[in-house]
Amino acid sequence: MAYFDAASAAPLHPVGRQALLAALDEGWADPARLYREGRRARLLLDAAREAAAEAVGCRPDELVFTPSGTRAVHVGVEGALAGRRRVGSHLIVSAVEHSSVLHAAEVHTSGGGSVTEVAVDRTGAVDPAAYARALRPDTALACLQSANHEVGTVQPVAEVAEACRAAGVPLLVDAAQSLGWGPVAGDWSLLTASAHKWGGPSGVGLLVVRKGVRFAPQGPSDERESGRAAGFENIPAVVAAAASLRAVRAEAAEEAARLRELTERIRTRVPASVPDVEVVGDPRRRLPGIVTFSCLFVDGETVLHELDRAGFSVSSGSSCTSSTLTPSHVLRAMGVLSEGNVRVSLPPGTEAEEVERFLTVLPRVVAEVREKLGAPVAAGAAGGTAGGSGVLVVDALGRRCPIPVIELAKVIGDVPVGGTVRVLADDEAARLDIPAWCEMRGQEYVGEEPADHGSAYVVRRLS
């Protein structure tokens, strides 16, 4: 089985496994106690903190361990906002932040705070100037991920941090996806990360708060982890997290070069072997192991199941899954095709042979799924003639992705050049996928109009 979902959780690094097993015997006692077992546990905890701080590029007393990366984000956002409440209650986030950041922003809004969401371009990157424009006198905190978890795009953290620093606003960086590859550049103020993203055990997060940043931990006070992470420390897991981070950093340069070559193969060869594919994310400023693409006329859940049957574990931001009827917020913010979305995230150690086998299997899987759905066989195959009616209505109400786009593709040739097709749909994915189809096929997306039920998406035939 080829595991290609390291962006969700990387396999436990062998060094982390060894450290975990050793710490289970040595680090089980309460590190706050003064007897021998407690002192031994404290030494392990302090050593892990120093190793993690060295990898982050901060002081050990600026870093605390939390029960997860999500908890680190929530504590960081809440504490920074509370510490600067006298300044104001304005929060800035990007539109493609991890859900943990966006959920924290929702809670902030429900409590009376205000949030500005900074848009991204079609590669998923923010414009540093847009962050600068969003800064206000009452801005308490800004948040920006170091790299996107769904499409791999690396964000301009250093430039955004510079703008925030000039305005006196702390910047919280979610470094979950990138910390295993290297420290985060820039003059940031707070940083969060999650061990299971770099090959450490699950259940360990990092929160860094730079000295001088106003921070007020929320909730009941606790004497552990500087009062910022309540509860007994999971010392074996913390030790394993720090050991695995040090190990992956030692291998990062070599592995990054190797994985970039493998992901570039996927980025180049998937569009060449699978018709009607959009590769998304920045082609250059990107993490080494992530490549994401979307396939027209494909049910994303079925593709993932078929790839699983063929021996490949991949993930998706597609709306065509049983867990959601709306597209990934990342793909939606980027304005790219969402149907048939596949994210391949290669863990360190991935063999080239596994990638080659994936590139051989994928075209067959996509073709079989399209055939089952009755999709057009080849790009440009619209059917019909150029002499039909100038306006045609397609009723796709109640039909989910990718059916509305398939029905559009089948009938676009039934209207003359200059004629229009109105697609009636109540699937949120149509709002992204119909404009994306127009861009891929050289047709004009006129816009969205209200309808009695759902929306009408108007497309004009250009060719």
Residue closest to 287 by CA, chosen among 1, 6, 3, 2: 6
List residues bridging with 420 in a β-sheet: 391, 460
Tokens 């596994």 appear where?
354
Phi and psi, residue 298, nearest 5° = -130, 135
Contact between 345 and 359 (Cβ < 8 Å): no
451 dihedral zone (left: phi>0; alpha: psi -120 to 50; beta) = beta
- Residue 402: asked if its preceding bond is cis (omega within 30°), the reply is yes
Of the candidates 58, 143, 295, 320, the residue annotated as catalytic is 320
User: What is the rounded CA–CA span in Å between residue 163 and residue 135?
Assistant: 9
What whole-number distance in Å separates Cα of residue 3 and Cα of residue 133?
Answer: 42
Q: Secondary structure of 372-386 in the HEC alphabet?
A: HHCCCCCCCCCCCCC
Residue type, 344: V
Please report, as a single letter, which amino acid is at residue 106.
E
Residues 6+ apart with CB under 8 A from 139: 87, 88, 90, 91, 92, 167, 169
Task: Tell me if 383 sits within 8 A of 410, measured CB to CB.
Answer: yes
* DSSP element (H, E) containing 447: strand 444-450
Q: Are strands 312-313 and 290-295 parallel, antiparallel or unpaired?
A: unpaired
**CA distance to 4, 98, 104, 293, 320, per residue, from 8 (Å):** 9, 12, 20, 17, 19
Helix, strand or coil, per DSSP, at residue 214: coil
Is the distance from CB of 108 to CB of 85 less than 8 angstroms? no
Is 401 tagged catalytic? no
Cβ count within 10 A of residue 129: 11
Active site residues: 320
